[in-house]
Amino acid sequence: MTRIAAAVLAVLALAPRAAAADKIKEIVVEENTKTSDETVLLIADVEPGDEFSYQLLDEIRVRLVSSELFKSVEVFSEPVPGGVRITILARDKHSWIVAPTFYNQPGNRGGGVGFAEANLFGENKKLLLYGQIATADSFFIGGYVDPSIAGTRFRWQVDTFLRWEDVTEYSIPSGVTDSSIRPVRTSRMRYLNGGVKLGFSLFRAFTFDARLRGAHVKWYDATLEPGVTCADVVHPDDTSAEAMRCDDGPARRAPTPGDTGFDVSTEYILQLDRRANWYGIRTGNRYRLSYERAEPSLGSDFDYWYAGFSGFFGSRGHLFDDDNLIVKASFGIGKDMPMQHEYTSGGVDLRGFRNREFRGDFKVKGTIEYSVPLVTFWSLSWRALAFWDSAYTDFLDRDIQKDTFRRYLPDPADHFAPWRNGIGGGIRVYFRSVVVPLLGFDVGYGLPGGEIRTYFAVGLTEL
């Protein structure tokens, strides 16, 4: 009996060691027609010699599906002499698209056309070229992203952003109701921007990026809105030459809200990203910390800084297997921020209010979205969602005499900037074989004192 007990104990003691000693001997990648085997393994973050576990198989599948390059992924294992063979069946999505866009949002309507390649050369590199013409915001954006330079942990990005925008400013709130806030000044802004970013992965999901950005900004053709006088847009303490140009007669000329000049800055981003995207259902978490400051030594005509933190949390399976709960929160604060960098709220980030209705150098925001599947046929997936947006946006650092780069609107004695909330619902339509939503439609109601507003987007744009 003693010998039997000893043998049993020996087997139990050795079993965990044997399981722990299982190594991945070989990895086979099949059914990938565009993505290279090396890229599949890089995304899967697995290589021969790693320790094997059945949990690892699930992790590999989640990583590959979350890359949004594959329409289906299967991962299985089998024993082989000396360890385990893992087989990955990764069927590629159609990786590029040329598509028109159309959107209708309060204060901005337009459309455009774009080209997006999500898997350039089969190496997970990204290329985006997109241009749009709209009533308030016309722009061109181009970007190239290499997530792994020569298969290393280093990555880089280059981008350009050329923008022509009609910027409408609204009176500073002096009450709760929407009717107390009205458009008072509209200005034209030309913003020509380019940047380069270099980063690396400290370890899986934890990254650091540094970006150098240069732009030229020009403000021009500022006009008073109907029924607005110079007293509504010129602060009593502003005695600058530009403020004195205000004319509320037939010319309807307003002072420009900001200075023209070069805007050069550096930005640093630390991010922990453990999100997974399961065919439109987003789970996991992401935390992002950023800091950006102007660089007068590199030719910037502005001198500012701002910093922010944001968080994302997603989960599924609360009431249905494929439901999705998303919680997002962010915080931002800055000093001496020119108007082109001010925080704004309203529109798609605060549904129920007009586009960029509120602005400032301080912002706290949160969003809760809950979506459920409606129907799936062919490659189309329809989802319904309900949302709650909440934001507080205001100026904490306003010095009329010192901030010569910015011509602020008058601040009423009964200045009142409450938390703003938007509630509502919408739908999303996804192509399983394409990496971006096809259609988004939301209806939001603003609280307090807001109105019912609709938001509609088709194509590469996303609500």
- Do residues 51 and 159 share a domain? no
pTM, full prediction: 0.86
> Looking at 41-45, 188-192, 296-300, 436-440, which range is the least confident one?
436-440
Looking at residue 435, its pLDDT comes to: 52
Residue 60 lies in a domain: yes
Q: Is the pLDDT of residue 144 over 80?
A: yes
Cβ(39)–Cβ(67) under 8 Å?
Answer: no
> Looking at 9-18, 85-94, 414-423, which range is the least confident one?
9-18
- Do residues 48 and 144 share a domain? no
- Do residues 354 and 411 share a domain? yes
Residue 332 lies in a domain: yes
C-beta neighbour count of 44 within 10 angstroms: 23
Q: What percent of the chain has pLDDT over 90?
A: 64
Angle between helices 37-44 and 54-66 (to 10 degrees): 110
Q: Is the pLDDT of residue 393 over 60?
A: yes
- Do residues 137 and 21 share a domain? no
- Do residues 77 and 125 share a domain? no
- Do residues 84 and 105 share a domain? no
Q: Which of 70, 92, 114 is the last residue of a domain?
A: 92
- Do residues 80 and 154 share a domain? no
**Average pLDDT of 367-382?**
88
Residue 271 lies in a domain: yes
Looking at residue 271, its pLDDT comes to: 97
- Do residues 102 and 246 share a domain? yes
Looking at residue 437, its pLDDT comes to: 57
Residue 463 lies in a domain: no
CATH number for 219: 2.40.160.50
Q: Is the pLDDT of residue 106 over 90?
A: no
How do residues 225-244 score in pLDDT, each as one tens digit?
A: 999 999 999 988 888 889 89
How do residues 52-84 score in pLDDT, each as one tens digit?
A: 999 999 999 989 988 889 988 999 999 999 899
**Average pLDDT of 441-451?**
86
State which residues form the domain around 169.
96-458
Residue 86 lies in a domain: yes
Q: Is the pLDDT of residue 2 over 80?
A: no
Cβ(135)–Cβ(111) under 8 Å?
Answer: no
How do residues 178-191 score in pLDDT, each as one tens digit?
A: 557 889 999 999 99
C-beta neighbour count of 151 within 10 angstroms: 11
Query: Which of 155-159, 178-182, 430-434 is most confident?
Result: 155-159
- Do residues 263 and 206 share a domain? yes
The total domain count for the chain is 2
- Do residues 56 and 131 share a domain? no
How do residues 306-349 score in pLDDT, each as one tens digit?
A: 999 999 999 999 998 899 999 999 999 999 999 999 999 998 88
Looking at residue 131, its pLDDT comes to: 95
Q: Which of 69, 92, 115 is the last residue of a domain?
A: 92
Q: If we measure between CA atoms, which residue out of 263, 235, 155, 239 comes closest to residue 201?
A: 155
Tokens 């703003």 belong to residue: 420
Q: Is the pLDDT of residue 152 over 70?
A: yes
- Do residues 61 and 113 share a domain? no
CATH number for 14: 3.10.20.310
Cα–Cα distance measured from residue 111 to residue 270, given in angstroms and rounded to the nearest whole number: 34
Residue 69 lies in a domain: yes
Q: Which of 65, 92, 119 is the last residue of a domain?
A: 92
> Looking at 209-223, 321-335, 423-437, which range is the least confident one?
423-437
- Do residues 80 and 187 share a domain? no
